[in-house]
Each structure stands twice: as C-alpha cells, then as structure tokens.
Structure 1
Amino acid sequence: MFFRRVLQAITIGACASLSLANPIDLNELGLQPEKRADPSLVGYLGAIFLGADPYVYFYLSNGNDPLSFKSLNGGQPILRPTKGTGGVRDPYLVQGGGAEAGKKWYIIGTDLNIASTTWDAAQRTGSRGIFVWDTSDLTTFSGERLVEVEDASAGMVWAPEAIWDAAKGQYLVHWASKFYAASDTAHTGSPSNIRIRYAYTSDFKTFSAPQTYIDYAPTNIIDLDILPLDTAGKSYLRFMKDETAKTVFLEYTTGGLFGTWTRAGGSSGTITSGVEGPAAYRDNKDDAKVHVLLDFYGGDGYRPYESTDPEANQWAASARTAFPSNLRHGSILPINQTLYDSLSAKWSS
C-alpha cells in the first residue's frame, strides 16, 4: 500500500542526531527523509477555536499521548485579534521550513467573527485577508497583521494553512474562496463554486499573486489540510471537505504538491459525513499511524480518527476518554521536549 511503501523507503537512522521539532526540510543537511517515529518528539500542541469564541486557544497533550489533551492558560485564549473583524477562526500552526526550521513558527487564521455578520454576507463581502502572528518559541507572539491575499472578485478567504515547499524554497499558503463576476462589484449575483487557492510567501508579509490549486466544480471544496509523509517533498496526504455533500475525503500522491493526486477509497470514498475542519498529524511513536481530527460542527466539535492504511481509506474512531469536547477547527503540531517544557511552564492550568 502507498503509506507502507513510503515508510519502507524512509532511512531508519536519518533522524538519530536531530533536535528540531518535526522538521519539514532536511535537504540542506543532505539527509534522506527521516523516520517519523522521532525520539525527540515528546508531545503535541493544538491550536483551536471554540465555537462562539473566535480566538486562539492552546491545548497540550498529556505526555506523548496523541489522544489526550489539556487546556493551557486556564482555558483562556492565547491570542485575541485586534484587527479586522476582531475574530479568528481555524487557527493553523505553521512549522518553519528551510533556514527557519526549528527556529520560527507562525499562526495563521481566518478573519471572521460570525457574531457580527451572517454566513451569506461572510461569503459575499467577507475578509480577503488572513491573520498572521510570528513566534520563535510558541510562548510569545508578535507582529499581528491582517494580510490581504485575494483579489476583489473573491467573496472571502477561509481556513488558510501553509506548508514549506522545499522545491520552491518558500511557504505555499492555501485557502478557500468563491468568486463573483468582475462587473458584480457588490457581489450580489450568483457566485462560482468554492475552490482552493494558493500563493507563495517567504515571510507571511508579501505574497505572490493568488492562483487556483483545486477546482472540483460544481462541487464546493473547503478546509484543505496537507500532511507531508517525507522530507523530500514527494509524498503527501491531503484532506478536504466537500461542502456540497458535507463530507471529508482524502487524496494521496507521491508526485509532490503539484503531482497527480488519487482519491482514497475511490471516487466516492469519504471518511465520514457531517464534518469539517480536518486536522491531520502523524503519531510520534508509531510510524504506521496517522491521526485526523474531524469537526462535528453540529454536535460536540472535534472527534479523533486514526488509520494505518489511509490510502485504502481505512479509518476507525479513536478512543475519546481523555479527548476534550467542543473543540473546533484548528491544527495539531508534534513538539520536542524543549517546547513541551516551555509551554507547560508558561501556561499550565
């Protein structure tokens, strides 16, 4: 199977001397893709929002358990935006790449406070920018900014995420937008389907002109989440929501970010329905296991799923005995001991 072939191709000793937290790009070190069961990774950090509270909340794993999390900062937000709509949804922890690997991270998110608007208005005349914060240690944040990434024909920018593209030497940032005719400046007419767009950046301040990454018209696609399986930039899983059918499905590739993608489980394969906001991460201790959180937005928020054969679309609901309820669309970042300790020291409840 695809996932097992990827794991078999990984050099077992490649990460023995690594001290970085979940490095993305090791090409500059001359290494082959590292074995993912990395002893330097001792836990997981989640950046989440909580339904009616569109701010950034942190959750830290209880030890190296991928399914057991505790709130940090006494359950209060880590970040509250001061710009745009005053609300940030879908917070995403961006792992530094290239020269920034292990030295810098970013948090990006959707500029949307639904309490001050409607879903229709948010898709017609919503924000065309993304929130960005910088951090060198995941405990202090600076440089809050709201950066416009879409053109005037777009109705909104939703669920931005970013991944280091080693082949390009920049971050690929992607999001979901729908569009209106150039003559429809007020966006009162019928829009296009929602598609995934992307741009490149080196600093999350200046972005290239946006382009279309995924367009499955007439299907509306939102909430793209890409999970790298190697550091060579070839093998990936990508999860996304079919907004029309209200399902999340998975695609895989061995051809890079712009290679040929295959839908897991065939053309109609889905993980489950009534969900959105997939947040995927690999297990720190089990090379063969992938986790994905799926947001049951009409119910109790995130529920965890796991698989050792994702390309066959074989998923099972994980045990939830220590997994919090009512967490919404966010992201999970595997972390090393230094980061785990500093997060615990600053924000433990």
Structure 2
Amino acid sequence: MSENPHLSRRALLGMTAAVPLALTLGSGTAHAADSAYAMVYFTESTNLGDGTDYGLHLAVSPDGLNWTPLNQNNPLVTPTSGALGLRDPFLMRKQDGTFVVLATDLQGTDWSRDSVYIHVWDSTDLRTFTGYRLLKLHDMTDTHSWAPEAYWDASRGQYGILYSSVNSSGHNVIMVSYTTDFVTTTSPQVFFDPGYDVIDGNLTVGVDGVNYLYYKKAQTLVGARSTSLNPGSFTEFSTGVAHGGTEAPTVVKSLTSNTWWLWGDTYTPNGVFYAWQSSSLASGSWTALDQRTYTQPVNSKHCGITTITTTEYDNLLAKWGSPAWNRLKSYNYPARYIRHSNYVGRIDVYPIEPYKDSLWTLVPGLADSSGVSFRSVNYPTRYLRHYNYALQLDANDGTSTFAADATFYRTAGLADASWASFRSYNNPTRYIRHSDYVLRIDPISTTTDRQDATFRVGY
C-alpha cells in the first residue's frame, strides 16, 4: 500500500530471456516463454496534485529495470465501483495463460476508510481489461483489505489471495482467502502473524522446495520462509533491508541468470523505488543495486510486476506507443534528473515538483535537424539553450542565434557509451554538463567532466 508510516507494498525486476520456448502453466494452456516484463501501478505526485491518478497504469520493459509507460503514463482503466479509485495493483498470469489484476479499493490517502472488497479485472492480452468487479474477501468489520496479491497453490488446486488486515489483537497481519475464479472466495484465514504489525505480503513459491514471504515490518523489508504454503507455517529468517521508510516488497527472478531482485518503495507520496539483489533467496542477504541500472515510471507507486512474452511486449507497444516525452538521468548522480527551475537548467533529486519540469520533448534541432533540441513539456514555447555558457529555458524568438544556441548533437555517452552526451552545435568543443547541479556547456577533459556530461535518455 502507499500509506502513512503505518503501512504498505510492491515494485519490479529482471533481465531478458533470449530465446522463447514453449512453457505450460500447470494444467493451463501452453504459451511462449516469457522474455520481458509488465508493470501495473498508480501515480501520485509529491503534493497529490498534477500527476496523481488512482487508475490502473501499465508500463513495459525488456530488461525489467528501465520502463516505458504506456498510454502517455495515463490510466488504461479506472474503477467504477467502491471508492472509485485503486492503490497497490497486482498483476498475475493465471494457470490458463490469461491475466488477472487485483488492487486495493481505496482512492487517495484516507486510511480510515475500510473496505472488505478489492478491485478485479481480467485480461487475455493486457490490451483490454474486462469483467471488472469488486471481490469480497472477508466479513470482518472495522478493518481493511490492503495490498492484495495472488499465487497458485497446487496442493489445494486454488489461488490464494494475500492481503493485509487488522486481527483481533489490533495489529496488521497477512490474511489469505482462497478462490478458483476470482469471483467468490472462501472464509479468510490468518496466513502470517509474527505477533507484531506486518503488511504488504509478497510470496515467491517453490524455490528449491521452499516458499518465501516478504513483507513490511517497521519501515523495513523482511522475509519469512516455509516448506509448505499452509497458513501459520512461515518463520522470519532474513536480514532486513530499507532505504528510509520502505514498503511494498516485490521479489522477482532474472529471466537469464540466477539473480534475484527485491524491490521496495518509500511510503511518502510520489515514493522512490529502491532495489537490492541476491544470488540466493535461501541466504536472506541482499546488496543494494546501483540506481544507474533502473528507472521507475514517473510518479509511479506500489507496483505489481509479471513477466510477458516478446509478442505481448511488442503488441503492447504497438497499441499504446511510447511517451511523447523523455526524462534525462544524471550518470554520476543517478537520483537526479535534468529539469528547469525558475527557467534555469539543472539536475535535481527525484521526485521533482512540479514533475513536468523534468519532462522534455526531444525534437529535431532548430538549427540542424540532424541534431536535437529540448522543448519543455509544461512550457512548450520554451527550449533549453545556452547563454554565456549557462543553460536556461527561453522562449524561441525565431532568430538563427536562438536556434543555434538551442541545438545539440547527441553522441555516445562520454563516461558510458550506452548512455548519451550532447555536444553544442555552435560551440562544438563544449558539451552539456552539470556543475554544482547547474547545467552549462563546457569543454570536457577529465573523468569527472565526462561523468558530468553523461545522461540516460529514458522515461
């Protein structure tokens, strides 16, 4: 959930499989091997204003680390019952090869609002979402049904739906209700109660005969394990990880290596995703992942991730397309992005408010169409241009001088060729770089200079 410091859940992972093979899901239908990733999420800006939307958002990624929001980062569907908004969406491929989406029935941050229901959608291809309904999980009063996730319990021949509710002792526990169709459920049971407040259960089933449950405990992500899926059988074992107040754990395995990733989300509005990695779930030990390697969709909160096929990935991009804008991440300060503030170009720490200050439309260069110019999304008559070597956001006055000052050539990143650097059109010995977090164009000679002048163009 994304909540006050008393709550929440989820995020992402992975690498890309190279060759699709045929797989069979339980007794379901065969389908091509998964080779990419899909993420569901909702959005919140820092001030809960522009950029906040409690509908179902979707992004895709070939590597599970850097994401392309679909539909211009707008929702694909929005709940029409209950609270008329969702939090904490979860995405799973069912045994028959189709998908189900679950989400908390809550709009905004009114944590006092209790619901015995969750939102549910079905989908065959993630391009259309059908069968929208509210699913009742329990009859308990004065409590909630937060952060639902699902898993297949082969021994029962049922799906388990995990969610957070308050028990009779007055603290949050992880509950489970079973279902075969996500239309009706059995009576709920306590799945995990260590005797203190826990929320946001994320379950990884059947790794060398062991099942792993990660959850939020006192602002930290902690794991428990069991050789069965029986309620009450899990015991805590892992070393906790956190980056500030962290919630929303999601564990996913790389599609191409023995690497596992644990993702978490800070619980503040417009939370920041952090990731850790491990080569062994059994070790319970995690190492922080460099923020250079991953980028969350702008304003994204509390995600659910599943793997998809290459065909599904291609079809989703074909239907929804990539955003018409980009964000540019600093190479040596990867928590920071290029933005304008009071019309000055600089790099600031994400989340950025207003968030559109960090969105740019990369258009053909005003002075040379083989170059690029950076047009502001929220001030579309203004472009980044250099003036006395400093970068500022100015209105295009139509002059050749302005066009030249606002045109740059994109090159391989000076510090990392897989990233990008930008050489000035009319000062060709100078590149865009940051200095004391402010953007300017300078000659580049040192290792630090090259790092200052390298950026990742993404979303």
TM-score range for the pair, normalised by the shorter chain length: 0.7 to 0.9
Matched, 1:168 2:161: no
Matched, 1:200 2:178: yes
Aligned equivalents of 2:231, 2:275: Cα separation in 1? 28
Give the one of 295, 309, 326 matched to 1:323.
295
Alignment partners' CA distance in 1, 2:227 and 2:28:
17
Figure out how many residues of one structure are paired with residues of the other and give that number.
Answer: 293
Where 1:209 maps in the other structure, the secondary structure is coil
**Taking every aligned residue pair, what percent have the same amino acid on both sides?**
29
Of 131, 138, 153, 2:126 maps to 138
AA aligned opposite 1:209: S
> Paired residue for 1:348?
321
Out of 34, 37, 57, which is 1:44 matched to? 37
Distance across 2 between alignment mates of 1:314 and 1:26: 34
SS in 2 for 1:138: coil
Q: Choose which of 89, 92, 95 in structure 2 pairs with 1:91.
A: 89
Please give the residue correspondences for 1:218-233 in structure 2 after superposition, counting only pairs within 5 Å. Answer: 219-230=196-207
SS where residue 41 of structure 1 aligns?
A: coil
1:148 lines up with 2:126 in the alignment: no
Q: Following superposition of structure 1 onto structure 2, how do residues 1-349 of structure 1 map, counting pairs within 5 Å? A: 18-19=22-23, 23=25, 25=26, 40-51=33-44, 52-61=52-61, 63=62, 65-97=63-95, 100=96, 102=97, 104-114=98-108, 118-119=110-111, 121-122=112-113, 126-179=114-167, 192-217=170-195, 219-230=196-207, 234-242=209-217, 245-258=218-231, 260-265=233-238, 269-272=239-242, 274-286=245-257, 288-298=258-268, 300-321=271-292, 322-324=294-296, 325-349=298-322
More off after superposition, 276-285 vs 306-315: 306-315
Contact 1:196 1:215 in 2 (8 A): yes
Cα shift at 1:113? 1.0
CA distance in 2, matches of 1:229, 1:327: 30
Taking the aligned partners of 1:193 and 1:202, their CA distance within structure 2 comes to: 29
Q: Partner amino acid for 1:109?
A: A
Give the whole-Å Cα distance in 2 for the aligned partners of 1:255 and 1:28: 26
Any idea what the Cα deviations from partners look like across 1:280-334, whole Å, max 9, x if unmatched?
A: 2110111x21112100123742222211133323212223334125421121111
1:8 aligned partner: none
Q: CA RMSD in A?
A: 2.6
* TM-score, length of structure 2 as denominator length: 0.59
Matched residues in 2 for 1:75 and 1:148: separation?
Answer: 29
Output the CA distance in 2 between the equivalents of 1:159 and 1:260.
21
Corresponding position of 1:6: none
Query: What is the Cα deviation at residue 157 of structure 1?
Result: 0.8
Closer, same or farther: CA 280–317 of 1 in aligned 2, 3 Å:
same
| Residue ranges of structure 2 left out of the alignment (5+ in a row) | 1-18, 45-51, 323-459
Of structures 1 and 2, the one scoring higher in RCO (CA 8 A, sep 6+) is 1
CA-CA distance at 1:17 after TM superposition: 5.2
With normalisation by structure 1, the TM-score equals 0.77
Q: Is the 8 A contact 1:251 1:311 kept in 2?
A: no
| CA 1:263–1:28: 2 relative to 1, 3 Å | farther
Native 8 Å contact 1:128 1:154 kept in 2: no
Distance 2:256 2:80 in 1: 39
Deviation of the 1:114 alpha carbon: 2.5
Distance 2:153 2:317 in 1: 31
For 1:42-83, what per-residue CA distance to the aligned partner results, in whole angstroms no more than 9, with x for missing partners? Answer: 21111111124222111111x2x1211111111111221111
Counterparts of 1:39 and 1:106, CA distance in 2 = 18
More strand by share: 2
* 8 A contact 1:107–1:133 mirrored in 2: yes
Write the letter of the residue equivalent to 2:295.
Answer: F
AA matched with 2:278: S
Instruction: Report the CA distance shift for 1:28/1:128 in structure 2 as closer, same or farther (over 3 A).
Output: same
